[in-house]
Chain A
Amino acid sequence: MAVKWLPRWFFQLASPRWCYQITGMLIPWFAVVSITLVVLGTIWGLAFAPADYQQGNSFRIIYLHVPAAILAQSFYMLMALAGAIGLIWKMKVADMVAKSVAPIGASLAVLALLTGAIWGKPTWGSWWVWDARLTSMLVLLFLYLGVIALNSAIESETTAGQATAVLSLVGLVNIPIIKYSVEWWNTLHQPASFKLTEKPAMPPEMWVPLLVMVIGFYTLFGLALMLRLRNEILQRERRASWVRDLLSVKA
């Protein structure tokens, strides 16, 4: 195999057992860091950041909306990437990561959509506007739902993993095309309306808490991913002796 250039830890990742152990060690750290960051970011954003001169205090929704939207997109990328690794190197753990990411990513897309809609009410005066960003997020949610539906429709775990990997890769190629076409369609239909999040140069008092929230969200949902992944590992490796030992010791 011509994969000698890859570092060793990459192949260690392939071992479900190693992965289970390492996530077990990482989880407490992630929990502390993520909760600190998210609590800090939320309080900062809600109480200390200045209000927007146009949108007033409804602007504070940005500290939730933007991190959710960013994560929903990057988790889709992670899912497709993990799926590709699973396909190419037949790496079981990558398959499990891809499967565990999907519901988390979908819930983030839902959060981004809901907060976008709620933010839209005071800003645009209606709950839903066919804004380019909201529309692409809706399509992203559909892509997530497709992946989840396909995964649950196929009985064999291996086949399900491979099939969803192909689908998520196809989706990944399509995301930029969909984004571009939706943006273009949007400008065609509603010329330059008031955008939700595009602001010319936010002052640091506004974007620093946003940055804190984004990082906090990455760690927080990384934590959620690890929790899910561990369940997936246990379930799929139930036959392995290390799982059996683990279970009988933990009694």
Chain B
Amino acid sequence: MAFESFADFLNMGGHGLYVWLCYGLGLLIVVANLLLPMQQSKQVIRELRRRLRREEGSA
């Protein structure tokens, strides 16, 4: 452990703002890259299924 206390850890030797801002952004981009396609997948499946039903209805 490179830090004495948890407060020390958060403070990052005065650079806390920069470090945590970076990691926050990192988390944001990682989560966006995973969640967006998952959400899109639901949408795609719903859309394609609706299409399929419409075609079956018209056939």
Give the B-binding residues of A (Cβ under 8 A).
38, 42, 46-51, 56-58, 60-61, 64-65, 68, 104, 107-108, 110-111, 114-115, 118-119, 121-122, 220-221, 223-224, 227-228, 230-231, 234-235, 238, 243-244, 247-248, 250-251
Contacts and interface: CB of A to CB of B under 8 A. Distances in A.
Chain A interface secondary structure, helix, strand, loop or mixed?
helix
Contact of A47 (B1, B13, B49): B1
Interface residues of B, number: 31
A238 B54 CA distance: 14
Given A220-B30, A223-B34, A227-B38, A61 B22 contact: yes
A46 B23 contact: yes
Interface in B7-50: 9, 12-16, 18-19, 21-23, 25-26, 29-30, 32-34, 37-38, 40-41, 44-45, 48-49
What 8 pairs between A and B have smallest CB-CB spacing?
A: A227-B37, A57-B12, A58-B15, A224-B33, A57-B13, A228-B37, A115-B22, A64-B26
Nearest to B43: A231
A67 B16 CA distance: 20
A244 B49 CA distance: 8
Contacts of B22: 61, 64-65, 114-115, 118-119
Nearest to B55: A244
Contacts of B32: 107
B19 A58 contact: yes
A251 B53 CA distance: 11
Nearest to B40: A231
A56 B15 CA distance: 8
Contacts of A221: 33
Given A104-B33, A227-B38, A231-B44, A115 B3 contact: no
Contacts of B37: 224, 227-228, 230-231
B41 A248 contact: no
B32 to A, nearest CB: 7
A210 to B, nearest CB: 14
A119 B18 contact: yes
Contacts of B21: 118
Contacts of A248: 52
Given A119-B18, A119-B22, A234 B2 contact: no
